[in-house]
Amino acid sequence: MKSKINSESDIAKALEIGPSPGYGKRLKRWFIIALLVVATVIAAMIVWRTVDKSDKIQFKTQEVQRGNLTVIVTATGTLQPTNKVDVGSELSGIIKSVEADYNDRVKVGQVLARLDTSKLEAQVTQSKAALESAKAKVLQAQATVSETRSKLTQLQRVWELSNKKVPSQSELDAAEAAFERAKADEASAKATVSQAQATLEAIETDLSKTVIRSPINGIVLNRSVEPGQTVAASFQAPVLFTLAEDLTQMELHVNVDEADIGKVHEGQKATFSVAAYPNRTFEARITQARYGSSTTSGVVTYETVLKVNNSDLSLRPGMTATADITVKKVENAILVPSTALRFTPPVQEEKKPSTGLVGSLLPRPPSSASKQREDVAANKKQQRVWTLKDGKLSAIIVTIGSTDGSMAEVVAGDIKPGMALVVDTISVGK
């Protein structure tokens, strides 16, 4: 053991690294210096990256314009005929023939279909016989009236000639009662004739309704019946044909959102397009903005009717259309891009003095830019746009009027045409 210690001391002497009284203090000093150097390098890198990143921010700008602004409201709906009629049958029976088909042009009174009439014709014959029988009973009753009247007259004459002795009063009263009953029977027979006549007319009316005729001049949009089919008319008449009166004049029914209905009024012009003609635009005009609302999936809409000229018959009922309603036109206005109103300056734009590694790790108070944005948000009537002055962002308070989604009208604010406004950040340094 002693020999091992001696050998280590010999090696230390040979290398001249023997322990000295100040060795531990020097080692601690160099360790602290090394830590300070590393911390300084890290802080310098953080500051360099922050400064380099903020210096390399670039902005995309767009100029303020002067021009006209058109405000539109977009809504979707379907095309419908101005007058659509459902033709049905009031009677039940078997369809004997169908004399109109899809797209056929029909006129008022033209036959569309016929029902089997054999049963109704038999009823007509029966009603006519009943009517003749009732008329015969009227003649019989009239003969009875004539007979009883003559008998009563004869008795009254005998009664006067016999100085009111013959016949007896009871016989005279009986003759008068018989005469009155005869007149009552005549009246009843006449009423039976009227009843039989009415029954006959009702059956003849039903017989005429077995021929389904067109009530309007138009075109057949739909046919839902075939020969031999049974029609059952109970509480509601079944629809056999659907007719459109005039397809050269149509209506576009669109659903306008509740947020836009206050801008829509009768007489406003609109344009719309349909999928069948993607490269064509059709014109329309609002004829009615209805007050009744409808709710679909929590969205409240109001039905609005537009008049459409379809003289070339290119549009068809049921087509889905997207309409752009012109609700307002502003002429010679100062216009700013809507993207400039939505622009928010980056936080890096506002440079702050470096506080070193410790300062970068500690929380900082809110920036003045954030406070400015909060102040503008509190005033909803005003908005903020940004321009560049000497390479730095400068805010301008403006009051916005109408907008079409891409451009907005400036009602008040220190804005002039040709001024460049910041709309976006286009690149950031690494």
Which pLDDT score, from 0 to 100, does residue 95 have?
95
Residue 224 is predicted with a pLDDT of 92
* Confidence bin at 10 (pLDDT 50/70/90): low
Question: Is it the case that residue 22 has pLDDT exceeding 60?
Answer: no
Q: Please give the pLDDT value at position 377.
A: 47
Which of the pair, 27 or 343, is modelled with greater confidence?
343
* 248 and 145 Cβ atoms separated by less than 8 Å: no
Closest to 285 in 3D by CA, of 302, 259, 264: 264
- What pLDDT is attached to residue 424? 85
Which of 2-11, 57-66, 223-232 tops mean pLDDT? 223-232
pLDDT band at 378 (very low <50, low <70, confident <90, very high): very low
Comparing 227 with 43, which gets the higher pLDDT? 227
Which residue type is seen at 187? Answer: A
Convert the pLDDT of each residue in 217-249 to its tens digit.
Answer: 999 999 999 999 999 887 778 899 999 988 999
pLDDT class for 44, splitting at 50, 70, 90?
low
pLDDT at site 361: 47
* CA–CA gap between residue 285 and residue 303 (Å, rounded): 14
Give the model confidence (pLDDT) of 145-185 as tens digits: 999 999 999 989 998 888 888 888 899 899 999 999 999 99
pLDDT of residue 320 exceeding 70, the answer is yes
pLDDT of residue 186: 94
Residue 210 has pLDDT above 90, yes or no: yes
Q: Do 212 and 229 meet the contact criterion of CB atoms below 8 Å apart?
A: no
Cα separation, 64 vs 79, in Å, equals: 40
Higher pLDDT, 211 or 367: 211
317 or 344, which is more confident? Answer: 317
pLDDT (average), residues 318-334: 91
Q: Residue 347 — very low, low, confident or very high, per pLDDT cuts 50/70/90?
A: low
Q: Give the pLDDT confidence score for residue 154 in this predicted structure.
A: 92
Top pLDDT among 48 and 258 is at: 258
Q: Is residue 430 predicted with pLDDT exceeding 60?
A: no
Spell out the long-range contacts of 134-143 with Cβ–Cβ below 8 A and sequence spacing 24 or more: 134/189, 134/192, 134/193, 134/195, 134/196, 135/193, 137/189, 137/192, 137/193, 138/186, 138/189, 138/190, 138/192, 138/193, 140/189, 141/182, 141/185, 141/186, 141/188, 141/189, 141/190, 142/186
pLDDT of residue 393: 85
Position 136 scores a pLDDT of: 96
Q: For residue 51, is pLDDT > 60?
A: no
For all residues of the chain together, what is the average pLDDT? 83
Least confident segment among 163-177, 354-368, 373-387: 354-368
Q: What radius of gyration, in Å, describes the C-alpha atoms of the chain?
A: 51
d(CA 303, CA 256): 6
Q: Which of 2-16, 43-57, 289-303 is the most confident on average? A: 289-303
Q: What percentage of the chain carries pLDDT values higher than 90?
A: 52
Q: What is the pLDDT of residue 38?
A: 78
Q: Compute the half-sphere exposure of residue 329: CA atoms within 13 Å on the CB side of its CA.
A: 7
- Res. 28 pLDDT band, cuts 50 70 90: confident
pLDDT over 70, % of the chain:
82
Instruction: Place 344 in a pLDDT band, splitting at 50, 70 and 90.
Output: confident
Cβ within 8 Å of residue 390, ≥6 positions away:
none
Model confidence band, residue 350 (pLDDT cutoffs 50, 70, 90): very low
